[in-house]
Chains A and B, each alone.
Chain A
Amino acid sequence: DAGITQSPRHKVTETGTPVTLRCHQTENHRYMYWYRQDPGHGLRLIHYSYGVKDTDKGEVSDGYSVSRSKTEDFLLTLESATSSQTSVYFCAISESGRQETQYFGPGTRLLVL
Chain B
Amino acid sequence: GNSVTQMEGPVTLSEEAFLTINCTYTATGYPSLFWYVQYPGEGLQLLLKATKADDKGSNKGFEATYRKETTSFHLEKGSVQVSDSAVYFCALTQIQGAQKLVFGQGTRLTINP
Contact = CB atoms under 8 A, between A and B. Distances in A.
Contacts of B49: 99, 101
Contacts of A105: 43
B37 to A, nearest CB: 11
Interface in B23-52: 32, 36, 42-46, 49, 51
A106 B43 contact: yes
A30 to B, nearest CB: 10
Contact of A45 (B36, B43, B45, B101): B101
Q: How large is the interface on B (under 10, 10 to 19, 20 to 34, 35 or more residues)?
A: 20 to 34
A29 to B, nearest CB: 11
Interface stretch (B65-73, B77-85, B89-97): B89-97
B93 A43 contact: no
Contacts, number: 62
Given A43-B44, A101-B49, A106-B42, A48 B98 contact: yes
Interface string A81-100: 00000000010101001111
B100 A42 contact: no
Given A45-B101, A106-B42, 15 more contacts: A31-B99, A42-B91, A42-B105, A43-B44, A43-B89, A43-B101, A45-B102, A56-B98, A58-B100, A59-B100, A59-B102, A97-B97, A99-B49, A99-B99, A100-B99
Contacts of B100: 45, 48, 58-59
A102 B105 contact: no
Interface residues of A, number: 29
B93 A99 contact: yes
A35 B96 CA distance: 20
Contacts of A99: 32, 49, 51, 93, 95, 99
11 contacts: A31-B98, A33-B101, A42-B89, A44-B103, A45-B100, A48-B100, A50-B98, A59-B102, A90-B43, A99-B32, A104-B45
Contact of A98 (B46, B95, B101, B104): B95
A56 B32 CA distance: 21
